[in-house]
Structure 1
Amino acid sequence: MPADPSHHVSRSQPLDSQPLGIRASAVEVRRSARRRRTVSAYREGSRTIVLIPARMSAAEEQRWVTVMLDKLAAQESKRMLGDDELAERAQRLSDQYLDGCAAPDTVRWVTNQNTRWGSCTPSEGSIRLSHRLQGMPEYVIDYVLLHELAHLLVPGHGPRFWKLLDAYPRTERARGYLEGVVAAGRLPHLPTGREEPED
């Protein structure tokens, strides 16, 4: 590929700053003055190349590198959890983080939740997760499951609710990932393929 004067390469991301499971490959960030609204990423041998707009701040760069690494990992791990596996996972999470106190009767994927990631009906003991989570990193699915399990015990999002989620070490990271997905969805001209819009 011919050199493009509108591109320049940013430093590679240090391995210890990368998400777990991705540390085997180095990350190279390439900035482009031509790139206005999109962020994309792809594997090149043992490296991961992340392409971003030149005007993006260092903080935005770091956030989008994390989002895109997670996105690639999710795409490369195509194993989808079925409803039975989802229910087993919910039970394990309840046992590990909620002392087994949250015991749903049903846990299943649904395709009619396009404005929220999950929901629960405490009176029925049911938890429903949006099919849009399928293919996302497992820690994100675990967070949404745990979030709904906590709602079986505490309605609303008050201090008592968030205290239940404090034990899960990836709460903030999962919330950041989901916020990135929502922000990306608000941008016009959502590209297809491997590109994701930047915030």
Structure 2
Amino acid sequence: MSTEDVEVRRSPRRRRTVSARRENGRVVVLIPASMSRAEERVWVARMLDKLKAGDRRRRPSDEDLLARATDLSDRYLGGHARPRSIRWVTNQRSRWGSCTPADGSIRLSDRLQGMPGYVVDYVILHELAHLLVAGHNRDFWTLLRSYPKLERARGFLDGVALAKGIDIAEDNDVESVEDASA
């Protein structure tokens, strides 16, 4: 991020704290009025680094997604699902994610970017499970049942879809998670 994208606001009421936020396409750094220019430069750099780290967490790169998918497969699927690629796409308007088992590719809707990590993990895990089981039958849901935030993530996505008026494709063969655990 260039220095033109940063606005520093000094406050006489602020004594020790420094904070930063995004506002109208720029970064606003709030600092105490008593801070020297040298301290300001140090704190602006530190706050930009913090914002970038947060962006990486909320909007991981394709390489980060592949590492995340590998970790999720190891933890919840015994390492059996190994995608060859996983990437963000902008053309999915009726799905959160999709996969092609034949070539091991997974695609995630860019609308997931910025959602909580456990939600993105659920969608990745869902698509990983499809690399092993094609439909949404008992075997499929059995694979996912060990994910501790399964129902919470599904509820979050349902709420987002409802609030934003997104028509997410419903699967006709979906069993409830409770039925799958029976």
Q: Which runs of 5+ in 1 are unaligned?
A: 1-76, 188-199
- Counterpart in 1 of 2:75? 96
- Alignment of 1:149 onto 2:128: yes
Q: List structure 1 runs of 4+ shifted beyond 4 angstroms.
A: none
Per-residue deviation at 1:162? Answer: 0.2
Q: Deviations over 1:65-120 (max 9, x none)?
A: xxxxxxxxxxxx43320000000000000000000000111111111111100000
- Counterpart in 2 of 1:123? 102
Per-residue deviation at 1:185? Answer: 1.4
- Counterpart in 2 of 1:137? 116
- Counterpart in 1 of 2:34? none
Q: Give me the TM-score of the superposition, normalised by structure 2.
A: 0.60
Q: Which amino acid aligns with 1:137?
A: P
- Counterpart in 2 of 1:78? 55
Per-residue deviation at 1:180? Answer: 0.2
- Counterpart in 2 of 1:161? 140
Question: SS in structure 1 opposite 2:134?
Answer: coil
Question: SS in structure 2 opposite 1:78?
Answer: helix
By relative contact order (CA 8 Å, sep 6+), the higher-ranking structure is 1
Question: SS in structure 2 opposite 1:119?
Answer: strand
Q: CA RMSD in A?
A: 1.1
Larger Rg: 2
Q: Which runs of 5+ in 2 are unaligned?
A: 1-53, 167-182
- Counterpart in 2 of 1:70? none
- Separation in 2 of the partners of 1:143 and 1:78? 19
- Separation in 1 of the partners of 2:55 and 2:85? 24
Q: Deviations over 1:39-81 (max 9, x none)?
A: xxxxxxxxxxxxxxxxxxxxxxxxxxxxxxxxxxxxxx43320
Question: SS in structure 2 opposite 1:107?
Answer: strand
- Separation in 1 of the partners of 2:93 and 2:75? 29
- Counterpart in 2 of 1:105? 84
Q: Which amino acid aligns with 2:119?
A: V
Q: Give me the TM-score of the superposition, normalised by structure 1.
A: 0.55
Higher helix content, 1 or 2 = 2
- Separation in 2 of the partners of 1:174 and 1:151? 17
- 1:30-45 → structure 2 map (5 Å cutoff): none
Question: SS in structure 2 opposite 1:175?
Answer: helix
- Separation in 2 of the partners of 1:186 and 1:175? 16
Question: SS in structure 1 opposite 2:63?
Answer: helix
- Separation in 2 of the partners of 1:184 and 1:122? 32
Question: SS in structure 2 opposite 1:182?
Answer: helix
